[in-house]
Structure 1
Amino acid sequence: MPTASTRTATSKSSSRSRAKDAIGMLREDHKKVLGLFEDYEKARSATVKKRLVQQICEELTIHTQIEDEIFYPEFKAALKDKELVPEARVEHDSVKALIAQVQDKEPDGEDFDAKVRVMGEFVKHHVKEEQNEMFPKAKDSRMDLVELGERMAALKEQLTLQLH
């Protein structure tokens, strides 16, 4: 019969194997935010657009912080990267600048729509590079993607609570 410590160790390892790895978590975030941009393009009402932009801004703010604080430093260290991470950080800065221009603002016409559309294009480009270049390299590396995913999930939960 298993002891309490054996059960604890077993439950920790089984919950660890069920945990989403870092790449799975980031891909899920990408899918969600790209869907929000698609919804924005279809939206006609200012109320709906404002709600979608708020959601987009929150999702991107949390996502970029998780990548900047946890994923990118680990990727950079594991792969001795001097190209992908710096470029990704510059892309994040561009998106953050657009977030500042639309978050908590009224969707008041063509310029607002253009800013959201350009932000969506930046994000699509960024997602494509991460998923096609960065993620395969991360998978082939010695990075512990499950442990990284656990840390990222904890930060995401903390940041989500701060925003709400």
Structure 2
Amino acid sequence: MVTTLDDTKRLAIAERLADLKEFQNLIISNDQKLIDACPYLDIRERLENMLSDDRKNLGIIDTVIVQYGIHAEPSAATNIFIQQFEQMMSGNEFTFYQKLIHHELLKHGQAMSGITIHKAAQKVGADIEVAIMPLNTVNFEGRAHQEQLKGMLEQVGVREMTGEDADQGIWARVQDAIATLSGAAGSTITQNTDKKDMNIQTLIRLDHTKVNTIFTEIAATKDPQKLQEYFGQLYKDLLAHAQAEEEVVYPKIRLFYGDKNTLELYSEQAQMKRMLDEIKSINPASANLFRSKVKQLMDVVGDHIRQEEFTMFPAIDKNFSNAQKEQMATEFKAAKSKIQEEMAASRRW
């Protein structure tokens, strides 16, 4: 029988993602504090643009956590740091320039954390790398913000010391050019992946890609412990995905997709759930039987994916506005997150 696997590497990544979300909330809060305290109109406008980007990036981090499928609490060290940082930035001991320096350092730490999570995912599992792929958008835009902040620091520092604007030397012009190019590219990527613009088909397709990746990982390993790890993630991902679709998506599409087609989707997912529980009862050491059942499951899931992507998705495009598809995505993500938390609390896996 497949048993619960306490995979410390996957749990460590979940904790780092929780840390990342807390730091993103801190960055947003600090953006606003700096805007409120900023004595320079041009700097304030650039900070307001960053705040807009950072709010979008929080939506991306939320999406990544739900796609990853393992929830964790932020580390104790993160909670301590955030409390101390907020206290420091709320005081009057530092000039605006000094506070801006600490904000740039915070952005640097956030970007490095995101990059490290991505590198760790490459070592732990291809399915994780697929799940956190949208995080690259946050990493990219964070680096662009760093370059922008360097140029802002140059201006603010000179103004505080001399009351005059800094000359735009070669270094400053290079930094501004990098920031402009990076910011434009980063914003383009963000617009295609943030929670306001990501539609329901995109979210569902992300789930499909991750599941197909896990099937590939199962097929590629002969290690019983790895089989247990991959199937454990597959089990949780498929159940959460199916239940969220049944709660949010299928009731909304039934009117125009038709009773027969919609009931077929429900029926396929009911079959999938039965097969998941059947495989869960098999000892992974019985490799041939285990793989045979997983292959049967993969065929069922593959048929279901094809129906959704080739017939359900076009029907959604035809009958829903962009705003409605984005709203459905928001509801789907919220439902899936709640289901994942309930599964973890009940120790269903």
**Is TM-score (shorter-chain normalized) higher than 0.5?**
yes
Count the aligned residue pairs. 152
- Separation of aligned partners in 2, 1:31 and 1:80: 24
More RCO (CA 8 Å, sep 6+): 1
The question of whether the paired residues in 1 share the 8 Å contact of 2:257 and 2:312 is answered with: no
Partner in structure 1 of residue 264 of structure 2: 87
The aligned runs of 1:1-164 (5 Å cut-off) are: 18-19=194-195, 20-77=198-255, 79=256, 81-103=258-280, 105-107=282-284, 108-142=286-320, 144-164=324-344
Unpaired runs of 5+ residues, structure 1, are: 1-6
Runs of at least 5 residues in structure 2 that lack an aligned partner in the other structure: 1-47, 60-190, 345-349
Matched-pair identity in %: 20
Would you say the 8 A contact 1:39–1:52 is kept in 2? yes
Matched-pair contact (CA < 8 Å) for 1:50–1:106: no
| Residue 54 of structure 1, CA deviation | 0.7
Amino acid at match of 1:109: A
Q: Deviating runs (4+, > 6 A) in structure 1? A: none
Matched AA of 2:343: L
Q: Deviations over 1:98-139 (max 9, x none)?
A: 111122642123222111111011111110111000001101
Q: Which amino acid aligns with 2:328?
A: L
Kept in 2: contact 1:54–1:104 (CA 8 A): no
TM-score (norm: length of structure 2): 0.41
Shift of 1:159: 1.4
TM-score normalised to structure 1 length: 0.85
Cα deviation 1:43-93 (Å, max 9, x = unaligned): 11111011111111100000000111110000113x151222111111101
Residue identity in the other structure for 1:152: F
Q: Which has the larger radius of gyration?
A: 2
The two structures, once aligned, show a CA RMSD in angstroms of: 2.0
